[in-house]
Structure 1
Amino acid sequence: MGLPITLLAATNANDALHRLLATGELRAHGTVPYNVWRLLFVASGGDAAAGEGLQHNSTPPADFGAGGLTLPPRVREWLRVRVASAAVDDALTLRTMLETHQRCGYLLDPHTAVGVAAAQIAAGEESCAARVPTLCLGCAHPIKFLPTVAAAFGCSASRALALASGPAGHRCAVGQLAQQAKQGYPAAGWVPPGCCAVLRKGEAWQAEWTAAVRAKVEELSAAAAALRSRL
């Protein structure tokens, strides 16, 4: 809508998108992440035929093994002025989760930690005059990634659940459901590996989960409507 922004594409150890943006070429063994094709569709001006052509012109097409993909100059230039990128390995992801919690009291999920680490990398590469405010978009909830939380903090699964649930008295709906699910199981010390385990307990949990999410959406919608009425 006219806002002068630059997107920063943060990738984890699967850095295919970062390599493609940095070099205009992709030579790899494995599968091209699906978001690469989405981005190339936009960079091609929303031309489905052009995007499909890029897929078919990769060698072998789309999901290549020892082949590769080379961006047309027009597509690469479009990306160059709009999208920067950085790759974050697993060790830096875990360290970012821990250090952000120590500094801010906020627990990042690993996907969002990749974005925060990438923003810090980008900020370190810019001159002071070129630095601009950066907005990192949260991707998920840390309770989905309890083994990763435990690895980042070097703690037990139970401690990871407590961290991901938020402080007592201020737990989010997801954390409350996970804590209740833990208490409802007979096995001592049982901890759900993530929010999906909460849902697996049965339809009653799905209904409660849906109700909690709906209530939060309605609360936010009402707040947004009230804000609009004051503008």
Structure 2
Amino acid sequence: MNFISTRGKVAPIGFIDMFLMGLGEDGGLIVPETIPAVDAEQLESWAKLSFQDLMFEVFSLYTNGEIPDADLKRLIQDSYAGFTSPDVLPLTTLNDSLHVLELFHGPTFAFKDVALQFMGNLYAYVAKQRNEIINILGATSGDTGASAISSVSGKEGIRICILHPNGKVSRVQELQMTTVQDDNVLNLAVNGNFDDCQGIIKELFADLPFKSKYHLRAINSINFVRILAQSVYYFYAYLQLPANIRAGGVNFSIPTGNFGNIFSGYLAKRMGVPIKQLVLATNENNILERFINEGVYKPEGFRMTHSPSMDIQVASNFERYLYYFLGEDSAAVTARMEQFKAEGQLTFSPEEVARIQQDLSAYGVSNDECLSTIRSYQDRYGYLLDPHSACGIAAYESAGQQEDGPFVSLATAHPAKFDEAIRLLGIEQRFPERIQELFDKPQRQVVVDNAKAEIAKQLESFFV
């Protein structure tokens, strides 16, 4: 298995080199040269596997033996040892058609832990094996930063800098990042929004002399290993359902802002998971809904919502989907992305929109609908949703009337991470101890302007 860039100007590379490259050196995103196929017999043979063993099977299709089996198994086991559920990702049934896959049982109570705990351990492994410096640089809309920091804080040979939009993440998200006191962690609070943070990250990774000098590595979903790790839970959710229920295929409702979570589902479907419908759930920053429903990919005015991790206009993983939509034609991808850079939007023909809608459907959830969904499910089932998971449920309720078969909705965060929204409903919740103790810890962060030069200066001082 080799890996290439969506823009076609990166020579095929192996698994570990792909992992270290992160963003393609031609500005594109890394994808596998071919997507491995898992037939129905092989898939069914995995039905009794634990999440950890299933992850080993899926990753083994991509790693080329570059990581010995014993080492890969140990990395996986170590990555999920700190999850609070023995199932790692428990599947909860709420009614005859709706099942909720809880992805928030990791150290920072968010779905990002599923991939990032593994990636942190893999970075430490590669640093030791290759005697390399690992300087991780990432941007976060809230959850990625906390999870990434948790995965590498205090680890020898690794430093991490995370950019987050100042004042535009939840209080718990901020505390999970900024109360970490390890000297290998730097938090930069940027006076801007997430798209500003992400844009600077992409500029810095595209500056190849800067990237090389400071050994920059990516932990955002621009790194394909993150996508691959997330794809495993689509296999797992499908196989956790009773055989008679999943016999005709399964639908997924997926809260997403950066297109990574839903692209992971798209990858799982391309590999062979019998997924009937992938429903993209978003909030009032609904560029992705308009892309799928109207064929217009265009950032508009930024809105703060109750689901800040999805307050994203320009989705990093959009280019990966575009690559497959355009028949893996890297020249066509490059042309479209250059057009987007020049004009600030892309428009798709009616015929193209029809093809997009064969792959994906979408539903944008208003702030009021998000809160009403939280209230409704608390009253009906005694099940408390965080605002992002509530967007997924609202999208299921919209799409579920149009599609037969079971739905799995992804619960992407623990509600305690977004108590500001929960309190608006007069609902009191008890915080997990690991969250409650954050409020008594001192914070450490640097507030910076939204400027590449200023952030580069901070990095030059930190990555020495």
Higher strand fraction: Structure 1 or Structure 2? Answer: 2
Q: Distance in 2 between matches of 1:24 and 1:84?
A: 12
Match of 1:179 in 2: 436
Query: For the residues of structure 1 that align with 2:409 and 2:442, how far apart are their CA atoms?
Result: 28
Cα distance in 2, alignment partners of residues 60 and 96 from structure 1: 39
Seen in structure 2, the aligned counterparts of structure 1 residues 35 and 94 have a Cα distance that, compared at 3 Å, is farther
Instruction: Give deviations 1:83-117, integer Å, cap 9, x for gaps.
Output: 11111101000111111112122211111110100
Does 2:398 correspond to 1:83?
Answer: no
Give the counterpart letter for 1:44 in structure 2. L
Say yes or no: does 1:118 pair with 2:389.
no
* Matching of residue 70 in structure 1 with residue 316 in structure 2: no
Which residue in 1 is equivalent to 2:281? Answer: 10
Distance in 2, Cα, partners of 1:114 & 1:84: 14
Deviates more, 1:30-39 or 1:112-121: 30-39
Give the helix-richer structure, 1 or 2.
1
Residue 143 of structure 1 aligns with which residue?
416
| CA distance in 1 between partners of 2:419 and 2:398 (Å) | 26
Q: Is the 8 A contact 1:59 1:69 kept in 2?
A: no
- Mapped to 2, the partners of 1:116 and 1:80 lie a distance apart of 20
Q: 1:35 to 1:115 in 2, by over 3 A?
A: farther
Cross-structure match for 2:370: 93
Q: If the length of structure 2 is used for normalisation, what is the TM-score?
A: 0.32
1:222 aligns to what? none
Q: Which has the higher contact order (CA 8 A, sep 6+)?
A: 2
| Runs of 4+ displaced beyond 6 Å | none
Say if 1:52 and 1:148 are closer, same or farther in 2 by CA, change over 3 A.
farther
1:105 maps to what in 2? Answer: 382
Residues 7 and 177 (structure 1), Cα distance of their counterparts in 2 relative to 1, 3 Å cut = same
Q: Distance in 2 between matches of 1:20 and 1:109?
A: 25
Distance 1:59 1:179, change over 3 A: closer
SS in 1 for 2:274: coil
- Over the aligned positions, Cα root-mean-square deviation in angstroms equals 2.8
The alignment of Structure 1 onto Structure 2 pairs a total of residues equal to: 162
Report the alpha carbon displacement of residue 27 of structure 1 after superposing the two structures with TM: 5.0
Unaligned runs of 5+ in 1: 166-174, 186-197, 202-231
Tell me the residue number matched to 1:154.
426
Quick one: percent identity of the two aligned structures?
Answer: 28
Helix, strand or coil: the match of 1:137? Answer: strand
Shift in Å, 1:15: 1.2
- Give the residue type in structure 1 aligned to 2:290: R
C-alpha displacement of 1:10? 0.9
Q: Which runs of 5+ in 2 are unaligned?
A: 1-271, 302-312, 445-464
